[in-house]
Every structure is written in structure tokens, then in C-alpha cells.
Amino acid sequence: MNSLVLRKTALGRDLAGKYVVAPSPRRLSPQQKPARLRRKGPLLWAALALLVMAADFLVAYLAWFAVDFVMR
């Protein structure tokens, strides 16, 4: 092997010995499951769609009103 490979191997061993990663202090018990994102139901998607449509109609009405005001 060449000396560069030997130096990298030795450096890796030195760093591995110096910075040891400690194992986690405890495992997750069955009661402590990590939080998962719940799927959003169709009701929330429908409410979001209605909200977007209402905002769209409001902007359209304001644009219609602005054009009507300018054209007078």
C-alpha cells in the first residue's frame, strides 16, 4: 500500500477512537412511539378548496368593481 492510504487509515482510527458516538440512552418503549403525521381527511381538503374559491370570487368581484369604477 502506498503511504497516503496508510496515513488515511491511521487518521481514521485516531478519529474513531477520539470521537466515539455514544449509543442512545434508552430505546423507545411501545407506548412512546414517534409522532406520525396524520392524513388530513377529505373534509379539510374540501374546506380548503372552498376557502380558495371564496378568495378567488372576492378578488374577481373587486377587479370587476375597479374596472366599473374606472370606466365611469
Residue 9 lies in a domain: no
Q: What is the pLDDT of residue 66?
A: 97
Residue 21 lies in a domain: no
Q: What is the pLDDT of residue 72?
A: 86
The residue assigned the cell 449509543 is 23
Instruction: List the one residue out of 52, 36, 34 whose CA is nearest residue 44.
Output: 52
On whether the CB atoms of residues 51 and 45 are closer than 8 A, the answer is no
Instruction: Specify the DSSP class assigned to residue 42.
Output: H
Q: What is the pLDDT of residue 60?
A: 98
Q: How many domains does the chain have?
A: 1
In this model, does residue 65 exceed pLDDT 90?
yes
| pTM as predicted | 0.43
Percent of the chain whose pLDDT exceeds 90? 39
Residue 4 lies in a domain: no
Residue 45 structural domain: 40-72
Distance CA 45, CA 51 (A): 10
| DSSP annotation string for 44-69 | HHHHHHHHHHHHHHHHHHHHHHHHHH
